[in-house]
A and B are shown apart, each in its own frame.
Chain A
Amino acid sequence: MTRALAALALVLASALPARAEPIRLWHAYGGAEEAALREAVREFERRTGEEVDLLAVAFGAYLAKLESAIPTGRGPDVFIDAHERLTTYVDAGLLRPITGDVPDSLPPESLAPLRQGDALYGLPLSLKCAALYLNTDLLPETPESLDALARAQLPEGTFPLVMEAENGYYVAAILHSLGGQLLTDEGEYGFEGEAAERTASWLAARVSDRTIPDEATGELVQRLFASGDAAAAISGPWLAPDLPEGLHWRVVPLPPLQDGGEPLEPFLTVEAAFAASQPEGDERGNAEAVEALIRFLAGTSGSRIRATVGRQIVADEEAWGDSRLGHDEFLTTFRRAASRARPMPTHPRMRMTFVPVQRALRRVLRSGAPPAEALATGSRDFADDTRPPPAERDPMPLLLVFGLLMLALVGWWIHKARDPAVRLAIKHSIPAYKWVAHAFLAVAVLVIVPLLVGAAVSLFAGRGRDLHYVGLANYADILTARGGDLLGDRSFYIVLLVTVLWTVLNLLLHLGIGVALALLLNRPKLRFKGPYRVLLILPWAVPSYVTALAWKGMFHRQLGAVNAVIESLGGDPVSWFAHFGTAFTANLATNVWLGFPFMMVVTLGALSSIPDDLYEAAAVDGATRWQRFRRITAPLLVPSLAPAVVMGAVWTFNMFNVVFLVSGGEPGGSTEILVSEAYRWAFTRGQLYGYAAAYAVLIFLILALWTRATVWVGTRSKRRAPVGATT
């Protein structure tokens, strides 16, 4: 045992970091863009002798990682990200202004989005915006407008246009051309009123006359255009790498909506290299080298590499003098499109508009709601998401109560410890403590303390890191549904009801299927036992973040397998995520699939520890199969299954992955469960960490009450059972 431990320690220690101080650069690129960045960085190293460490971070963890790593001095020196998150980063203190020279070849309009006040925080690397992809076999001529596309003569079953019609990022291009804005310059929600209604009506008309496919995701856009089933697509430069070689296509800047109208004006994203701040007193002293790297990447030499290798639309103007770039139709078209695009506002509220906009558009496009009414719900959602935090309160009362409670507790302990009987009991407990001490110490330090710290956040409010103490205001807000209808949209009680329904149904199905299969597999004479067992735990073995996405795909309206089966049986395709019942069923099917192997394995383990001689004795006594199950198997299974059931209930109650990845709360947040709702408040509805933490504490309290109750009922029913009634 000791030897094994020593070996383990040795192996772990060998993974220690040892290298000294190269410049650290973080990015979230993949494919050709990553290769180009790598090449540009190597060129920089060759020219300056500096060493650069590149780290590709998963986009899903980018912000969380920057937020926790930079303040502790473990973050990057330089990181690459889109300009629209600038204000968030500046507010969180993650950035350091650029102080050195800025290359003249960088145009002022690409620098402007990177300024905040007087300070410039990064240098622009590449420009990204949407344009129109045309399949030149189907559309040899450039259409004059999107409506002209709808009139084009196309083969049966081909969509004239595919675009993400529920995504504010793309829809904004239409809105801008009609004089609207998603977010006004003052930070007010803008997706309502005449321009927004016209936008929504146009989209609804094009979806209903089959010009645009409904429920189009980014994946569907790529698939339909790549397979030639759509004649045109609205997308950004990121679509090109996924188009097959045989496809003939080109890009043009977005045309007007109707013939002779204003051209669409898509959002412009400026991807920039930012200099990360360094904690005070822990500066790395490499500011000059860091800025040199940023200047090189954004400057002409770096830009040439990024444009030729990575196919990026670089901001640097001199790089375009290179004849290879100047004559590249794809790059120059996107450059033209970018020059007409509108930089996305950097206001932190900008990101918070997308979800309400999507929700409003889905109401119009999926449920057929009148635009004005649906857009008003988006506006209400936004107002709710951005409501001002509760007022700051004096923490003294709480500290006082807490202090008194602590004193009382200590007093009570001292009082008890004086009791000789208790002292004796403690003395007798010492041998037992030797067996448990290490486990409780480890769990206390690494599990309980971090959770308590997390829970304490629920007493604070504010956005991001800008928190102030508000007492129990978050709880009051949640429990009174923020002054709204207690049984209305997004109310805590409704979400709780859905969560309970979710947990009960899941548990019944997990147990039913799991135990039944285990019993069948446990039949002594069954053949192919081994292969069956292994095949049946497959759902458990494949990571759930992948299979949940596979299930989501299977429930897709157009591409999904479930609808394909329904149609082959003569039914109508179902829009699974448009109604609560069907969306909930989709989540349930996924989670039952994920969860039954666990119950099956636990049951198999329990069955194998039931001694065979019990069955032999029963068989001698002439017991039937049912009697043996009823009298031997079931009573012996219950104690071993009980912990798995309690745990299973707790885990299902908090099963975030499935709800988040499969239905994503659709339609309109109605299939959200408590834990995913908490996540929404923390991450997609504007970083209300305190509010989300209060949700987490409430989840905890509910589960604690519930388990208390089950234990209580369990002991009562045990007591009531007549002695000797079992076995």
Chain B
Amino acid sequence: MKVLKSLGVHAIILSAVAFALYPVLWVVSLALSPNEPPGAIPWPSDPSLDALSEVVLRQDDEGTYLFLMQTGASLLVAFATAFVAILIATPAAYALSRFRFVGKDASLSALLATQMFPGVAAAIPLYLLLDAIGLIDHLGGLVLVYATTAVPFAIFQLRGAFDGIPRDLEEAAMVDGATRLQAFRLVVLPTVRPALAVTALFAFMTAWNEFILAATFLSREEIFTLPVVLQRYVGEHRAQWGHFAAGAIVVSVPVMALFYWLQRHLVGGLTAGGVKG
């Protein structure tokens, strides 16, 4: 009985995995054999790494490996975005969870409202703004824009996490003589690590996959982010889908690695430990 049940669980999960994997295999198959369409079973009959190596090993006239620099630029932007977004959002989310203050409800509504307005409308005003502060064509400008875009969601996500932590936890610490800031840093923050991890991952993805702002703001090839690089394989008349797909695979590897690494933060009863301690 138990074995059957366990088999059933695995069967359900495996079918979900198949559903998740199928289109990805399609992309992989396209990357490995650009000249034949993937069939019902997406497996390349004559695999070659040409498209992949052309994308990854592209050099400019001086012999610099552009793709490597661009990967570096992308990683820098995405990690900085995650870092800055968390840095800005965490204290605000904590205050919104713990304090009562004038204008709290209004600011919550304003934060939610930012998510509802289609972002394309802001591209040209943002361009002028970044130009005015000299951050156009600069990765710093991109980080600033991405991080602030990610902040409202991060605040909501983290506020939910703070709400889930009993107030007794930091109140006990404060009775023991800790300041509010110490209680926050030493007691509260460690318990919301899973939420911080998910939120950071999310901010990372915002920056990692964005195309239109990056393409508009950046004008030097060596600091292009990867979505901009990939989009170049789709021209007006001719699209090099094999190259596009090969690049896409490379682009998704860091996200997978990051997720795998963050898993240990996602599992394990951290909150329980905090309560017991």
Contact = CB atoms under 8 A, between A and B. Distances in A.
Contacts of A238: 235, 237-238
A226 B242 CA distance: 15
A38 interface: yes
Contacts of A457: 121
Given A447-B149, A455-B117, A438 B143 contact: no
B251 A543 contact: yes
Interface string A569-608: 0000000000000000000000001000100011011001
B21 A74 contact: no
Contacts of B249: 542
A427 to B, nearest CB: 10
A536 B17 contact: yes
Interface in B186-240: 194-195, 197-198, 201, 205, 208-209, 211-212, 215-216, 219-221, 223, 227-228, 230-240
Given A436-B96, A446-B126, A447-B152, A56 B221 contact: yes
Interface in A24-66: 28-31, 38, 42, 55-61, 64-65
B157 A644 contact: yes
Contact of B160 (A429, A431, A639): A639
Interface stretch (A354-362, A380-388, A490-498, A695-703): A695-703
A439 B155 contact: yes
A515 interface: no
B23 A68 contact: no
Interface string A604-630: 110011111100000000000000000
B164 to A, nearest CB: 6
A602 B95 CA distance: 22
A57 B123 contact: no
B2 to A, nearest CB: 10
Interface residues of B, number: 135
Contact of B17 (A4, A68, A532): A532
B215 to A, nearest CB: 3
A5 B84 CA distance: 9
A543 B252 contact: yes
Given A31-B240, A545-B211, A593-B23, A601 B198 contact: yes
B271 A435 contact: no
B259 A564 contact: no
A81 to B, nearest CB: 9
B248 A530 contact: no
A8 B215 contact: no
Contacts of B94: 435
Given A72-B128, A639-B160, A61 B215 contact: yes
Contacts of A61: 211-212, 215-216, 228, 231
Contacts of A553: 26, 37-38
Contact of B234 (A4, A60, A682): A60
Contact of A543 (B124, B143, B248, B270): B248
A33 B272 CA distance: 62
A344 interface: no
A282 B105 CA distance: 46
A581 B266 CA distance: 39
Interface in B97-113: 99-104, 107, 110-113
Given A226-B35, A242-B238, A436-B92, A538 B256 contact: yes
Contacts of A593: 19-20, 23
B223 A15 contact: yes
A609 B252 CA distance: 28
Contacts of B194: 605, 608-609
A517 B236 CA distance: 41
Given A17-B137, A440-B92, A707-B112, A446 B144 contact: yes
Interface in A522-558: 523, 525-526, 530, 532-547, 549-551, 553-554
Nearest to B112: A707
B51 interface: no
A31 B227 CA distance: 18
Give the interface SS of chain A, mostly helix, strand, loop or mixed. helix
B272 A520 contact: no
Interface in A430-465: 431-433, 435-436, 438-440, 442-443, 445-451, 453-455, 457
Given A15-B138, A72-B131, A699 B40 contact: no
A20 B16 CA distance: 55
A218 interface: yes
Contact of A565 (B40, B121, B148): B40
B237 A561 contact: no
A426 interface: yes
B138 A17 contact: yes
Contacts of A414: none
A513 interface: yes
A699 B117 contact: yes
Nearest to B26: A550
Contacts of A405: none
A698 to B, nearest CB: 11
Interface string A648-674: 001101101000000000000000000
A448 B114 contact: yes
Contact of B198 (A55, A443, A564, A605): A605
A278 to B, nearest CB: 15
B91 to A, nearest CB: 5
B101 A639 contact: no
B221 A55 contact: yes
Contact of B61 (A31, A42, A605): A42
B52 interface: no
Contacts of A429: 99-103
B215 A60 contact: yes
22 contacts: A8-B80, A8-B84, A12-B138, A55-B219, A69-B219, A236-B237, A238-B237, A431-B99, A432-B104, A446-B148, A447-B122, A454-B117, A543-B209, A554-B23, A561-B26, A593-B23, A605-B198, A611-B272, A650-B115, A693-B121, A696-B121, A699-B117
Interface of A: 4, 8, 11-13, 15-17, 28-31, 38, 42, 55-61, 64-65, 67-69, 72, 74, 82, 128, 218-219, 223, 226-227, 236, 238-239, 241-242, 244, 422, 425-426, 428-429, 431-433, 435-436, 438-440, 442-443, 445-451, 453-455, 457, 513, 517, 520-521, 523, 525-526, 530, 532-547, 549-551, 553-554, 559, 561, 564-565, 568, 593, 597, 601-602, 604-605, 608-613, 636, 639-640, 642-644, 646-647, 650-651, 653-654, 656, 675, 678-679, 682, 692-693, 696-697, 699-700, 703-704, 707
